[in-house]
Structure 1
Amino acid sequence: MDINHLISQYGYAALIVGSMAEGETITLLGGVAAHQGLLKFPLVVIAVALGGMIGDQLLYLVGPPLRGTHPAPFRQSESADP
């Protein structure tokens, strides 16, 4: 079993999972795999877009429970009186 077989078998799933965290780099790697004929380009675009949307939704859902746990420099402070 070589790397080309693994990419052609699990490439789309890896693109979805990878694009949830780091979209641009994974998109580039998916494009390289499509150029080499291991993956189909339209499916690469769909997989990366789907992974990006899933990642954005997960971060949106995780945000409210963590609302009060920001580090001190990022907490909202009261505005100064003029």
Structure 2
Amino acid sequence: MEKPLKDKHKDVLRFINDYIERKGFAPKREEIAEALGISLSAVHYRIHYLFDYGYLIEADVCEWGRSIEMTKKGTLTCQADK
């Protein structure tokens, strides 16, 4: 059985999802750190955790440092929390 996401990971996932819904592209890691009031290294750790568990994937094309895409699992997780 898969372990549930901790709030700190959900916060990052929700922010990325909301940002993509508003702007049509993913935020930079620096934007995530600033918006959530956490360090850049914490953002990197949490994003890689979300990659490892299938909530996010690396985009095939990286433009302007925005290399994050939501997976179906990530999107469904965010929708379930609303």
Decide: shared fold, TM above 0.5. no
- Normalised to the residue count of structure 1, the TM-score between the two structures is 0.33
Alignment TM-score, normalising by the size of structure 2: 0.33
Greater helix proportion? 1
Larger relative strand fraction: 2
